[in-house]
Structure 1
Amino acid sequence: MIPVSSPSTFIEPRDVDYADFPASTLVSEGMQVLHADLKPEHGTAILGVEYARKDGLTLHLQILLPPMEPESTAVFPLVVFVQGSAWFEQDLGQSLPPLAHFARRGYVVAIVEYRPSPVAPFPAQIRDTGTAIRFLRRKASDFHIDPNRIVLWGDSSGGHTTVLTCLTDGDPFFSDEPVDEEPLNIRCFIDYYGPTDISRMNEEPSIQNHIEPESPEGMLIGGANVLDHPDLVAPTVAMNHISPTPRRRPLLIVHGNKDRLVPFGQSVLLHDALKNAGQPVTFFQLKGADHGGPSFWKEEILSIVDNFIRVNI
């Protein structure tokens, strides 16, 4: 048995600031010395934050903080991102890596989980997004959020949810909370290739049937044939919620012209309706882009999104 040696000295632990903590003077032959860069380059992920319980489901947020010094009290604009999923159960990690990269530009990013359509059809997804935003506003100090600078962003069905959330803001039908007591306070919003009129999606080439009861669009309205139920479809159509007054928040649309799932014309319909109503909208066609993919997360496109946000918050 190897005997345990007794330490020659014992230094009493003391809780001291980094600046007052002594640097080690010990050396070892062959040791190489590097100088530490203490500036933070990456943020922090806070995963699985519960924000609500509805229909027997616990709904979560994945929250990404920008780089900041330890013990910082800084606050940042909040980007709430609604992950697309054809309104079914979301893969909440799908866009997490590029959004973590985007957070480094100086944003808190919160990815919203909504109830999937087989559990709760439209407008549950709109109501859940509003609930999530109100939760984040109440907890702003916990997550370094500036509650007066909130942006909503979504892709595909998350884009549809984003657009409908903003266009129906203030309508109690689309909210699970009193709208007059807890406003959403969204400053601007971004739509990545979201559907806008589910009854017209098969008017253009697509690799998917958008009409049948079991289609994503049919499930959104409760498992019904889209063309046979215009009464159920009407509230889901973004253009039905556009009017010249009041002036809405600015919208940025980005959509690929080779989208095989959500036809490009869906964004044309929305852009034209907003322009005709005198509402603020900016529209980019991403030439050659399919339904999502890496082209939407390139630095050039993210800089367009970043600049749009900074101008409008």
Structure 2
Amino acid sequence: MTTPVGQSARYEIQSCPDIEFGRPDGHVLRLDLSLPIGVAAPAVVLYLHGGGWMIGSRKSHAARAERLARHGFAVASIDYRPSTVAPFPAQILDIVTAIEWLKGPGQAFGVDANRVALWGASAGAHLALLATAAPAIRRAPHDVPGPPVQAAVGYFGCYDLTSRGDLDRPDTGSPIPREILEQDWPSGVPAPPSSRYLRARLLGGDESAVSDRELAAISPFAKAHDIHVPVFLLHGTRDSVTSMEQSLRMAQELRHRGETVRLRLLEGANHEDSAFDTDATIADVAAFLHEHLGRPCHTPPLPHNAVQQGD
């Protein structure tokens, strides 16, 4: 019989990198899986990286994923197709593919595919919330009752992609993080590109041709009526890339609709600030996920051959 473990427990983790979970149109998708050792059928958190839907990878914030895994979750940091490879809805379909993988080959890793949360940063936060919306989920090939995910966490996300969202000006008193300025953007892309440019590229168009109606169709804010899972939004008050008003308005809209939502503003924090990776912040995220996914339980360690490494 297993015994529940308190949320403050810490676990050693086993890393299973470079696991292929899909190959849409020949584009190989991989994930890096961090497993808490000694936890029976851990709940799964899919981590979605940022990068304006155009750059970044599953390895961008490996330490962040590992920190959460130490709280008893199986954390899968996944790749999704960038907008330079495939426009929306390819990114949502890739998330659904990862969830399907959990229900199939992922079972070899002993995870509980019926307890899944999405956790995204920046562009990944946008995708995390949008993927919970019913119209997006209906693209999934499976026919499983209930939502395929049970919670979502968003770090400094952009949730209203329309011109109204443009009114949420970021904090111009804070410098744009070096991490963004020094990114290796694709050839022909202005560095750093404007938010409007990135949003248009997500739809496969250019800035002058993309309408607010099209942008609203892929905005979690406009799809709030389809989001019916608990949501935790975190944002820095000095974000120089995405205004905290994006999270404030998203939280307000979900509350207005009677949904479970929590908002935490990190005082003085910029976009991709180290404040989002402190033990206290990660513990706060873990507590939210424990509340909605359940707590980890001890179990004897799996046999070594029960966990397969990726190629």
The bucket for the TM-score relative to the shorter chain is: 0.7 to 0.9
1:253 aligns to 2:233 (yes or no): yes
After superposition, what is the alpha-carbon deviation per residue over 1:79-110, rounded to whole angstroms, capped at 9, x for unaligned? 11111121013232121112212211111110
Work out the CA distance in 2 between the residues paired with 1:127 and 1:270: 23
Q: Taking CA–CA contacts closer than 8 Å with sequence separation of 6 or more, which of the two structures ends up with the larger relative contact order? A: 2
Structure 1 residue 308 corresponds to structure 2 residue 288: yes
Q: 1:55: how far off?
A: 2.9
Query: 65, 81, 86: which is aligned to 2:47?
Result: 81
Report the count of equivalent residues.
262
Deviation at 1:306, TM superposition (A): 0.9
| Structure 1 unpaired stretches of 5+ | 1-39
Measured in 1, the distance between the counterparts of 2:145 and 2:78 equals 18
Change (3 A) 1:138 1:288: same
Residue among 267, 287, 305 paired with 1:287: 267
Q: Does 1:62 align with 2:42?
A: no
Measured against aligned partners, the alpha-carbon deviations of 1:226-269 in whole angstroms (never above 9, x if no partner) come to 785223212111122122xx771110000011111111111122
**Counterpart residue number, 1:194:** 157
Report Cα offsets for 1:150-197 as digits up to 9, x if no partner.
Answer: 11111100000000001236653xx2x325258653111101111111
Aligned partner of 1:168 in structure 2 is 134
Change (3 A) 1:290 1:51: same
The corresponding residue for 2:68 is 102
Correspondence for 1:219: 201
TM-score (norm 1): 0.77
Mapped partners of 1:269, 1:103: distance in 2: 30
Give the fraction of aligned pairs with identical amino acids, expressed as a percent: 28
For each residue in 1:252-295, what CA deviation from the matched residue of structure 2 results, as whole angstroms up to 9, or x when unmatched? 00001111111111112211111111111000111111111210
User: Structure 1 pair 274/183, CA: closer, same or farther in 2 (3 Å)?
Assistant: closer
Aligned with residue 220 of structure 2, among 238, 242, 245 = 238
Q: Is the 8 A contact 1:256 1:286 kept in 2?
A: yes
- Secondary structure at 1:216's aligned position in 2? helix
User: Residues 295 and 228 of structure 1: is their aligned pair in 2 closer, same or farther, counting only changes over 3 Å?
Assistant: same
Find the aligned partners of 2:128 and 2:117 in 1 and give their Cα distance: 10
* Bigger radius of gyration among the two: 1
Find the aligned partners of 1:299 and 1:255 in 2 and give their Cα distance.
16
Amino acid at match of 1:186: V
Structure 2, unaligned stretches of length 5 or more?
Answer: 1-9, 177-192, 294-311
1:123, distance to aligned residue in structure 2 (A): 1.7
Contact 1:66 1:108 in 2 (8 A): yes
Asked whether the equivalents of residues 171 and 179 of structure 1 are also in contact (C-alpha less than 8 Å), the reply is no
Question: Which of these residues, 125, 131, 138, is aligned with residue 91 of structure 2?
Answer: 125
Partner residue of 2:194 out of 193, 201, 209 = 209
Counterpart position of 1:10: none
Distance 2:204 2:156 in 1: 23
**What residue is the counterpart of 2:306 in the other structure?**
none
Inter-CA distance 194–227: structure 2 relative to 1 (3 Å threshold):
farther
Distance in structure 2 (CA, Å) of the matches to 1:169 and 1:81: 21
Q: Please say if residues 226 and 233 of structure 1, whose CA atoms lie closer than 8 Å, have aligned partners that are also in contact.
A: no
Q: Which letter does structure 2 place at the counterpart of 1:65?
A: L
Q: What amino acid is aligned across from residue 207 of structure 2 in structure 1?
A: N
